[in-house]
Structure 1
């Protein structure tokens, strides 16, 4: 029965009948109700599908806007990453969280959630258990952010630019940033996606730094999908020969994102929460609250703007 329910949910997400937030909710309900028959396959597929979906969304972006937003958001991103890493280290020490788990949670919060954790975990010599705990912490908070952020943005009467910037700085995974901002508006989606991808580029220096500190020979994972996102924006802005196809490619990106969020939701379960434990989860929650609240105050006050 669990297989049938899984495929029904997958079909509903891919059909466009479910919005990204509802797809995540459907995935969460499944994850907490059934034993996932394709847990590992779903995790691998969601990672690949997210990257392809982001490229698809690039066909709806204007390159000049992408460059302007990316350039403006670079400084804020650098500052927020540095702050989150230092605060995460301090909280980890205070709560006596294992050093590698603390580092992975801090990196996931500071840069781009599960993608950053997956990139630096082999280089930091993290065990499977440590990776699972870190990913579980980030995924739980991602799910909360995707559902809570749009409601907070509406309640505070945030502009689309403000909401996009806040989401990019305060939500862990790219998928959840895109899902939250897509619900808020087109401008929010453009701002949030671009700043988030600029933030994701920090995977590279973080991986190199981690490799040097740990003297690791593990291969560094380069975020090539960001380059293809930019090329898609170039095509949408300057290559008008195939203009008729771009809206369809963008729509496929939205559908792919919806399926990605469903798959991510199915990966969360009671077992995941038990594996995470109290201390790592507390570190992740406290770190996220400070980052989210601090960036919200700064964005609302106009200290962070585009």
Structure 2
């Protein structure tokens, strides 16, 4: 009981920062910058003032680690396994190319830039899957530092801001159909809020399709997390022990619960109003978690990574945009 009481001040602080994040995001047109990004940035700004306050650190750490996983589990209510069938095999075909591009070239660039493999992987995941949600899901699996999480989210959201402005202009210039543009935005823009902004800036139909593609793309979190569980296990052990991977020890059980929630939601037994409220709760808990990560991140320590990770994120994001467009072009969708 005393341990829980010790967590309360830190938890309350993350709630305050989450509310501030939502407030600030409301002032930005089309939700261009998500509340999670604001929460993260605000936390980083205030980190020097609370870093040595022991009455806060316990609760902040709890939110950054435990509440984050709860947020991811509840996120399953916003997804449905039938969405994969709804968007069709074609969108999955495009996603295979964009995911391969993000992780393959992300790995090569990470090595070329002599980057920490965890930071490089987080940037690739944020670019290839779904921005902050993917980064937050994979981070505990590979035991990434909070500074890596903060840098990865920063690298992806800056590119998203540019894309929200340029995507509708490019789509109209190329004379894309609502379907083609929705697939392009849904597979190439990172954060969900940015996909919404870019999609509906083109047309309502394109926006609706982009959201379906984006939610389906989010499902790839599951296999990617499992793959990184094995990779992280092998990096922590020598070659001999790595051959005998303890699946129970490395399996990210919160992802299994995430799948259970997705499955339950797919049956339709969860009322629409309830699902909407749970989704809102999930998003708020995610903002709290990223605020906690920001509060745990020292900007000076993060800056030691240098400018190259930002370049890494920009190049990978640009490659994903180009690959998504080219795949659709060659199969006649554009």
TM-score by length of 2: 0.65
Q: Return the index of the structure with the highest Cα Rg.
A: 2
Deviations for 1:119-146, whole angstroms, at most 9, x for unmatched residues? Answer: 123xxxxxxxx72332232132244356
Change (3 A) 1:5 1:156: farther
Change (3 A) 1:207 1:40: same
Q: Residue 190 of structure 1: SS of its match in structure 2?
A: helix
Task: Please state if 1:43 is matched with 2:55.
Answer: no
Change (3 A) 1:225 1:21: farther
Change (3 A) 1:161 1:66: closer
Which residue is 1:261 aligned to?
Answer: 287
Structure 1 residue ranges without an equivalent (≥5): 122-129, 172-176, 237-241
Task: Please state if 1:273 is matched with 2:294.
Answer: no
Change (3 A) 1:149 1:224: farther
What is the number of residues matched between the two proteins?
Answer: 274
Q: Does the Cα contact within 8 Å between 1:114 and 1:135 map onto a contact in 2? A: yes
Q: Which one of the candidate residues 160, 165, 173 is aligned to 2:187?
A: 165
Counting only pairs closer than 5 Å after superposition, residues 176-255 of structure 1 correspond to structure 2 as 177-183=191-197, 184=199, 185-212=207-234, 214-215=237-238, 219-222=249-252, 223-225=255-257, 227-228=259-260, 230-232=262-264, 234-236=266-268, 242=269, 245-255=271-281
Change (3 A) 1:43 1:154: farther
Q: Distance in 2 between matches of 1:25 and 1:74?
A: 27
Which residue is 2:85 aligned to?
Answer: 64
Q: Distance in 1 between matches of 2:111 and 2:208?
A: 36
Q: Distance in 1 between matches of 2:330 and 2:260?
A: 28
Q: Does the Cα contact within 8 Å between 2:98 and 2:187 map onto a contact in 1? A: no
Report which stretch shifted further, 132-141 or 206-215. Answer: 206-215
Which residue is 1:151 aligned to?
Answer: 165
Change (3 A) 1:74 1:141: same
Change (3 A) 1:59 1:164: same
Q: Distance in 1 between matches of 2:261 and 2:222?
A: 12
Report which stretch shifted further, 39-48 or 69-78. Answer: 69-78
- RMSD over equivalenced CA pairs, Å: 3.9
